[in-house]
Amino acid sequence: MSKEVKELFSSEINVKISELAEEFLKTQKTKDVQIISHFDTDGITSASIIIKCLKRLDRKFSTLIVKNLTPEIISKLPKNKILFFLDLASNSLSYLSGLNQRVFIIDHHEITQDIPHNVCIANPVLHEKKEEISTSGLCYLFAKKIDQQNKDLASLAVIGMIGDSIENIGVCNNEITKDSDAVIKKGVRLYPSTRPLNRVLEFSSEPYIPTVTGNREGVFQLLKEVGLERHNGQYKSLIELNEEEMTRIVTAILLKRLEKNNENLIGNIFLVKHFNQLEDAREISAKINASSRLGEPYTAILYCLEESKAKKQIEKLYAKYKQMIIKGLNTVENIEKIRGSGYVIINVKSEISEDVISVVTTILSKSSLYSEGTVIIAMSHTNKGEVKVSARTVNRGRDVREIIGKTVSEIGGEFGGHKYAAGAIFNLDKESEFLEKLKKHLEIELVKI
Ligand SMILES: [Mn+2]
């Protein structure tokens, strides 16, 4: 992209954000605002930015964090408030057209429907030249338009950007990272880069390092190979490594992940100020994510807003979550699996909680345990007598949404997702029928290829 085009884009979305800010300021000050945001890191940081901005404007508001925006949720929203959707709603526009109230949307997801008259939306996909930008980044630009004082929220935008794996520093993202005073260092994308390496390696799930992740002995072995030793009883952190040490550790990890896709192994480490300390943005993002997934998205927001009580609580949740993931990976390793050509079915039943099964499956698909193109299907029992299914493929391959969709349509249940990551839920009494039909589809699908 040429410099001129970049500037054109950045001005297009910036103009839209300014318009949205102006429109918002025109609304009655006495009207309450209902924020509705997504439960991932980008959504949580977006909500936090808007909350702080509204507080400074002395506006009344309430916040709702959701996993998916459904027509039911929309129909239950208060009718007398201004609605402010963040990191979602671009795909629910048709449900918003009937509402008799002002609607604002800041989002970056695809738009497939017409924009209703009552909706004011800022979304980069509407503009011709796109820089990938997180919703939190857009919210930050909005808050900054409203009041320059909000420049102190830039770190939250960087955290949201990392949470959505956006690391290309184009014009907008450059403005945001500059405002945040983030420290950027090139290296291996293990986090937290600020803590002793032995702990970081032990808990490393993305990237998953065979014989090292979840294995203390393996960790010490690797550090020994790399030639790193304890000083004053402690190993160095990633950001303390010199260039040569960084190269050695990258090489050692690569050797453990030989057959794997390692294109994301090296990248930028982002350090941002949070609670007055330089912290790894990836770790902050992981904490927010853990908190949300464990059912406490509002703790995550308070943590973003630097409430000290929330800090303690999120540390607890994060520790619990990490343990759950590591335990989940170990369980999967030892459990009996159904193996076919090009697929593996892992039925963990009640051994891994439904909250972590999809994360564990994602990690497995990125680990070096299964060969390229393998379909991984994990099943777990919920406490409501249902079976939750998570399907992934290793570095792309077959359309798992189609396979899962076909199977579930035959036995009854719900399914969703996309080509390389799909999920489903159905009644426990259909489990054996599901397995039978699933195997058939996996075999048939393979024949077709
Ligand atoms: Mn997002």
For residue range 266-317, what is the model confidence (pLDDT) as tens digits?
888 999 999 999 999 999 999 999 999 999 999 999 999 999 999 999 999 9
Average pLDDT, the chain: 91
Report CA torsion sign: 75, 76, 79, 84: negative
Q: What are phi and psi of 329, to 5 degrees?
A: -65, -40
Distance from Cα 288 to the centre of ligand 1, integer Å: 14
Distance from Cα 135 to the centre of ligand 1, integer Å: 5
pLDDT of residue 356: 84
Distance from Cα 42 to the centre of ligand 1, integer Å: 5
pLDDT of residue 3: 54
pLDDT of residue 4: 53
Token pair for 330: 């170990």
Q: How would CATH label the architecture of 335-448?
A: Roll (3.10)
Tally of CB atoms within 10 A around 291:
28
Share of the chain above pLDDT 70, in %: 96
Amino acid at 96: L
Write b or e for each residue in 117-126: b if 16 or more Cβ atoms lie within 10 A of its Cβ, otherwise e: eebbbbbbee
User: Could you give the CA distance from residue 315 to residue 327 in angstroms, rounded to a whole number?
Assistant: 18
pLDDT of residue 11: 79
Distance from Cα 67 to the centre of ligand 1, integer Å: 12
Tally of CB atoms within 10 A around 408:
23
| pLDDT tens, position by position, 55-78 | 999 999 999 999 989 999 999 999
Distance from Cα 346 to the centre of ligand 1, integer Å: 30
pLDDT of residue 128: 73
Tally of CB atoms within 10 A around 253:
21
**Which one, of 436, 271, 409, 208, lies nearest residue 338 by Cα?**
436
Answer whether residue 449 shows pLDDT above 50.
Answer: no
pLDDT of residue 121: 97
Q: Which of 31-35, 413-417, 423-427 is predicted least confidently?
A: 413-417
Using 50, 70 and 90 to split pLDDT, how confident is the model at 6? low
CB 271 within 8 A of CB 183: yes
Distance from Cα 45 to the centre of ligand 1, integer Å: 10
Return left, alpha or beta for 432; rule: phi > 0 is left, psi -120 to 50 is alpha, else beta: alpha
Distance from Cα 147 to the centre of ligand 1, integer Å: 23
pLDDT of residue 204: 86
| pLDDT tens, position by position, 213-242 | 888 999 999 999 999 999 989 999 999 999
Distances (CA, A) of 116 to 105, 106, 121, 333: 12, 15, 10, 50
**Which one, of 34, 110, 36, 96, lies nearest residue 68 by Cα?**
36
pLDDT of residue 446: 56
**Which one, of 242, 243, 264, lies nearest residue 253 by Cα?**
264
Q: Could you tell me which residues come within 8 angstroms of residue 243 by beta carbon, excluding any fewer than 6 positions away?
A: none
pLDDT of residue 130: 67
Mean pLDDT, residues 21-28 taken together: 96
Per-domain boundaries in the chain = 3-180, 184-329, 335-448
Give a three-class secondary structure readout of the chain: CCHHHHHHHHHHHHHHHHHHHHHHHHCCCCCCEEEEEECCHHHHHHHHHHHHHHHHCCCCEEEEEECCCCHHHHHCCCCCCEEEEECCCCCCHHHHCCCCCCEEEECCCCCCCCCCCCEEEECHHHCCCCCCCCHHHHHHHHHHHHCHHHHHHHHHHHHHHHHCCCCCCCHHHHHHHHHHCCEEEEEECCCCCCCEHHHHHHCCECCECCCCCCCHHHHHHHHHHHCCCCECCECCEHHHCCHHHHHHHHHHHHHHCCCCCCCCCEEEEEEEEECCEEEEHHHHHHHHHHHHHCCCHHHHHHHHCCCHHHHHHHHHHHHHHHHHHHHHHHHHHHCCCEEECCEEEEEEECCCCHHHHHHHHHHHHHCCCCCCCCEEEEEEECCCCEEEEEEEECCCCCCHHHHHHHHHHHHCCEEEEECCEEEEEEEHHHHHHHHHHHHHHHHHHHHHC
Distance from Cα 287 to the centre of ligand 1, integer Å: 16
Distance from Cα 432 to the centre of ligand 1, integer Å: 37
Token pair for 27: 């609304």
Answer whether residue 131 shows pLDDT above 80.
Answer: no
Answer whether residue 445 shows pLDDT above 70.
Answer: no
| pLDDT tens, position by position, 29-48 | 999 999 999 999 999 999 99
Answer whether residue 333 shows pLDDT above 90.
Answer: no
Using 50, 70 and 90 to split pLDDT, how confident is the model at 1? very low
355 vs 212, higher pLDDT: 212
Distance from Cα 70 to the centre of ligand 1, integer Å: 17
Pick among 3.40.470.10, 3.90.1640.30, 3.20.20.70, 3.40.640.10: CATH of 3-180 = 3.90.1640.30
Distances (CA, A) of 96 to 36, 111, 116, 119, 397: 13, 13, 7, 8, 36
Distance from Cα 43 to the centre of ligand 1, integer Å: 6
Amino acid at 29: K
Mean pLDDT, residues 74-97 taken together: 95
Distance from Cα 108 to the centre of ligand 1, integer Å: 7
Return left, alpha or beta for 295; rule: phi > 0 is left, psi -120 to 50 is alpha, else beta: left
Tally of CB atoms within 10 A around 366:
20
210 vs 51, higher pLDDT: 51
Distance from Cα 186 to the centre of ligand 1, integer Å: 24
Distance from Cα 105 to the centre of ligand 1, integer Å: 13
CB 421 within 8 A of CB 362: yes
129 vs 425, higher pLDDT: 425
**Taking the model in full, what pTM does it have?**
0.84
